[in-house]
Amino acid sequence: MMKPIENRYTIALLSVIMVCLLVVPPAMADYIGDRSLTVYEHNTINGGVVFDTVMDGSKYTLLYSPPQEMTKPVLSQDMTAAIPAGATVKTARLYNYYTWSDSGNNTIAGDPAEAILTLSDGVNTWSTEVNNTVTNPDVAHYVDRKGQGYTSKKYDFPSGTLAWDVTDHVTGSGSFTATIENAKELTDSTNNWTLPNPGEYFCTYGFGLLVVYELNDGSRIEYWIAEGCEMLYASSYYGITPAMATTNTTFSDGVSCAASAELTTVLTASDKGEYTPPKNMVIFNDVEVGPSTADNKYAIGVNTFDVVNLLSGQNTVELQDRYDCETVCNVFLVVNKDKRDMVVKVDSDLHVLRADVQNLDHAGIRTSLLTKIDNAIAKNDLALDCIDAGDEACANTNLNICKSTMNAFISEVDAQSDIHIPVDTADALMSDASDIITDIDCAINTTI
């Protein structure tokens, strides 16, 4: 009975593409970066952040019920909150990403989607409704649209992100089922589902479940949750440049060093990974870190980038469309500020440097440099013992000795450059050692 939906949502998605390609005059386009994502939450905790969604496009659904189908279409998606035993949920957000909120007439602007959302843990079921007349304090509704300031006023159908606060319902690790249905649907006298106006529907890509958890012995992290809806489309034909089709969000009060830092982006209908060069780009602190890629045109694209070496006091992410046509929904930044984890990272990098030094041809220089690295590793190991004992002064003393040893390493390599060590090799060794010193300073300046 539901098989015809596949053809209908293909038509709907093609119509969305038509909006990008056919009806946007040069000077009036709203596919520019005109609304930064909202930073919903920023905090420092012991714990972690997890996000679950379906990324293969299997959940793309058209939420309306034409006369020939007497069953009400509902999208249902299983979600998992995978958090460690003993963890406490601090924040849980259930997202739904939709597009093509139709008016039933391509010359009349559509309204933002009206929907009924439910969440079930298998025992309990919770429900909430989003409409365009009464504000729901539990659900943030972010909307972007083409707008009606055009010569052609066709296909002004909004896209949106629904963000439901489900912290009271997701209280631990487990499986959940989320559903969404069109709240505009009515029942007739025979109790069959119909629509008040033909074509009054929207398409949904599916759900995403974000959970922030606290754990007493977990790593110390600082995190930012950004959410919204930003439609981007660069087009040379319509005079929209990639620079115009760029949105940015700044994560203020940031950190400049850490044990690790992961930037996660959530977009819909983004670059499929088939293009060279990519048709969109994620930029962190002015450095291109890669494109957002989705499995197919129906899918939610979730991509995670390692940005630990790009951190600064004010961390800014830009998402730029390069003739792709995409919608930006979420950006999450999670920075590991745990002192012990920082020292573990130093230990790992020291061992990598040691392996590189073992490749040097000159036996005497090789032995001398290995001795310095081994001394640094020993002091770094002592710093770890001190951290485990809760003795920060002891840890910093050993870290400072480790740092001095690495400075001596750099001096020796510099002195042997173009003598017993090739210049390119010496430069690489000194660069790696300098990065290790930066991480040591980071650890020293971080409290247990």
Quick one: tokens of 94?
Answer: 């259930």
pLDDT digits (tens, 9 = 90+) for 146-194: 876 656 678 889 999 999 999 999 999 999 999 999 887 655 555 554 5
pLDDT digits (tens, 9 = 90+) for 25-76: 444 457 889 889 999 999 999 999 999 999 999 999 878 655 455 566 789 9
47 with 189, same domain? Answer: yes
State the Cα–Cα distance between residues 118 and 132, nearest whole angstrom. Answer: 18
Residue 16 has pLDDT above 90, yes or no: no
96 with 236, same domain? Answer: yes
391 with 408, same domain? Answer: yes
Question: In 3-state terms, what secondary structure has residue 318?
Answer: strand
pLDDT digits (tens, 9 = 90+) for 79-97: 999 999 999 999 999 999 9
Contact yes or no for 443/337 (Cβ under 8 A): no
The domain boundary, picked from 305, 321, 336, lies at: 336
Residue by residue, what is the 3-state secondary structure of 187-243? ECCCCCEECCCCCCCEEEEEEEEEEEEECCCCCEEEEEEEEEEEEECCECCCCECCC
The domain boundary, picked from 336, 367, 384, lies at: 336
Q: Who wins on pLDDT, 214 or 448? A: 214
The range of the structural domain enclosing residue 147 comes to 4-336
326 with 378, same domain? Answer: no
Instruction: Output the pTM of the full model.
Output: 0.88
Instruction: Name the domain count of the chain.
Output: 2
| Residue 310: φ, ψ to 5° | -115, 5
314 with 347, same domain? Answer: no
181 with 131, same domain? Answer: yes
User: Bridge partners of 45?
Assistant: 221
The domain boundary, picked from 293, 309, 336, lies at: 336
Quick one: tokens of 56?
Answer: 């293969």
Residues in the chain: 448
